[in-house]
Structures are given as C-alpha cells and as structure tokens.
Amino acid sequence: MTDPSIFANARIVLDDTIVEGAVAVEDGRIAEILPSRSTGGEDMGGDYLMPGLVELHTDQIEGHLNPRSGVVWNAMAAVQAHDGQVATSGITTVFDAARVGSDENTRTGAEDVATLVATIERATAEGRLRAEHFVHLRCEVSADDVVEGFDLLKDHPRLKLVSLMDHAPGQRQFHDLAALRAYLTDKFKMSEADFEAFARTRIAQSEKNAGPHRRAIAAECLARGIALASHDDATIAHVEESIALGTKISEFPTTIAAAEASRAAGMKVLMGAPNVVRGRSHSGNISAIDLMRAGLLDVLSSDYVPFSLIQAVFALAEGGKVPLPAAVRLATANPAAAVGLTDRGIVAAGMRADLIRVAHAPGEPPVVRAVWRQGRRVG
C-alpha cells in the first residue's frame, strides 16, 4: 500500500453532478471523494477534475508512420508521437484505429499495421506510453485482401474492437456521388475519367466482396469476444444486416432513421467530435448535434482530430446542449461501457485513477493542465 495522493480544491465532475472538493488516490485507484475544499495535497486551483477520456476511434497512428507519400517513419517514434498527442488531449485510454483492406490509395498495408501493433506491445512493456492502448481494426470489407489482413491480428490480445466499413461510391458515407467526386478531385486530383473508372471498380468490388467478408469477419469476432461496430449505416437494411452480425456499436450513422433503428436494437450510437465542434458532418450527412437533440447520441470519438474530443465536451456544455456531466459521459463512461471496460470512465471510489485536470474559460477551447493514469502523472 502507498500513501494516498490528494487532489484538492477541484470542481469534481461526477457521473451526474459537479462537486467542489478533493479526490484521494491510492494504489492507482480512487480511494475517496471528499466534498470539501481541502487545503492538503496538490491544489487544483478550482479547475475541473474529471475522468480520463476513452477514445474508441482515432485514425491518427497511421499518419505518424507514413507522414508523407513515400516516407516511412520509425515505428517506435511514430507510436510515441501518437501517444503523446492523445495523452495531452486528455485521452487516457485509446483504441488505435488502423485499416486493413487495401486499395490504390492505401499508404499503410496489413503488414505495416501488424508492425504498429507489435510496437505498441513493446512500448507498453518498456513503459514508454502515457495512455493505455488497445487496437481497433477498421476492415474495408469491399477490398479483396481484407480477410487476410484481419487474420494477421485476429488473435492479438490488444484487439478489442473491429469495425466493418464499405466506402464504395453511391452508398453509406458516399451516397452523394457529386460530393464524393468533389472530395476526391481535391484530395487526389482525380480527373473526371479517373473518377468514373474508380467508381466502377469500387462498386464492382463491393458487390463481389462486401457480404461474404462482413459475415466471415463478424463470425471470427463473435468467437473471440471482440466488440463489433458498423460504419456509416444509412438505411434500415444496413442496420438489419448489422443486427444479424451481432453488432454492438453503430459508428457514424448517416441518417436519423439508421440511428433510431440502431438504438432500438440495443446498439450504442457513436459520432465524431469534429462533427460537434464544426456543427456539421464534413461529408454532408446527419449532424451529431441533431442526433443528440433526438436522444440518439451515446458516444463521441475524436476521429481525425484528437483534441476535438475534450473540445466537443465543453462545446456541448457551454452551448447549453447538455449539462457538463452528461457531456463528459459521452467521452468517458459511455465508450468504456460500450467495449466492456468497467473499471474506468467515472470518478468514484474503487475506479481506476485515470484523471485529467482541465481549465476552461468561456468562449475558448479547454486547456488540459495535467493527466494521470492509474494515479501516475503522465502529462
């Protein structure tokens, strides 16, 4: 047993309220909440003390490995850079999302993903990382080689979440072909002829592969207890397919109808924090705020901007959309519960002491002043 640490003079964000007081931490766990302005211990200066954020879907790690076309960075340096970015954004548990299933624009192949996962394992063993890292495989089911990529990692103990994606033109995220054409023209400088050839190829691949690959990967996940997520469901038929596969999380549904059907089936609905910060989807689909107003938002994810997770939490509260404790749950308790992590995400006696100190001034982004994982200062 170690002597308890005291974090005093804090506004403590509990599951359903905020109290002024102190939190005692011992042996990596929250020992006690003291609802008074204690003068002993480390002074939080009246800042918020809240659970460390739990991130289920951040696409950043591959970008650190391949920061430019043709450039492959040292894998350990890439993992540490990614870890530093998420931890200083207040994220203490992160599911590193990496894609398997290749196409002509894929920079990171399945072997590269396997290297990243092995590097995360070594970095963890050597005490190099601030956050706790798990793996989220994003499986592009229309790709010819997605099952082979999945098989490389299906038995790795850090693999806790798999999402099934199909980005073929004309459906789901890219149901609006005009919007997709504009996006690809900007990102990859495609000509009109290139886009038409691209669309024909992708649609044919999806028609051939998507159904069999979805079923095969879902069956393997079910057998191993790996949580399964859908991705960009748009129609009732999409949701019914997800239900049949045993899906637990609906990632980024693109319509109210899909979100309603997913929730009715017991799935947790996840949306992007950048969607909240910007007030709209970058793809022109349903906004996260609209889903929240309809009572259909369970989990926020930083997606492509790690800091957006804590930013969205305070944007929702400051904008009067929900009280701060409810906004915090979207990024802490709810995602933890969605993937079966019952020891974190709430400031309560007995829970892991994954905590963040956050200052916030009206109209400004929050400042993450300090981060603790299991009671140890990591940021």
313: domain CATH number is 3.20.20.140
> Which SS3 state, helix, strand or coil, does residue 46 take?
coil
Is 41 within the bounds of a domain?
no
Is 130 within the bounds of a domain?
yes
Question: Average pLDDT for residues 114-121, to the nearest whole number?
Answer: 97
Question: Average pLDDT for residues 307-315, to the nearest whole number?
Answer: 98
CB 313, CB 330: distance < 8 Å? yes
CB 55, CB 302: distance < 8 Å? yes
pLDDT at 248: 97
Q: In which domain, by residue range, is 274 found?
A: 52-340
Is 13 within the bounds of a domain?
no
Q: With bands split at pLDDT 50, 70 and 90, how would you rate the model's confidence at 265?
A: very high
- Return mean pLDDT, the chain: 92
pLDDT at 177: 63
Is 255 within the bounds of a domain?
yes
Please name the residue ranges forming H helices in the chain. 61-65, 75-87, 110-125, 146-153, 177-188, 192-224, 236-245, 256-264, 273-278, 288-293, 308-318, 324-329, 333-338
**pTM to 2 decimals?**
0.91
Question: Average pLDDT for residues 15-39, to the nearest whole number?
Answer: 91
The lowest-confidence range among 196-200, 300-304, 360-364 is: 196-200
pLDDT at 125: 98
Q: What is the DSSP letter of 189?
A: -
Is 254 within the bounds of a domain?
yes
Q: How many domains does the chain have?
A: 1
Tokens of 91: 């994220």
Q: Cα 219 to the chain's mean position, in Å?
A: 23
| Residue, of 172 and 355, whose pLDDT is higher | 355
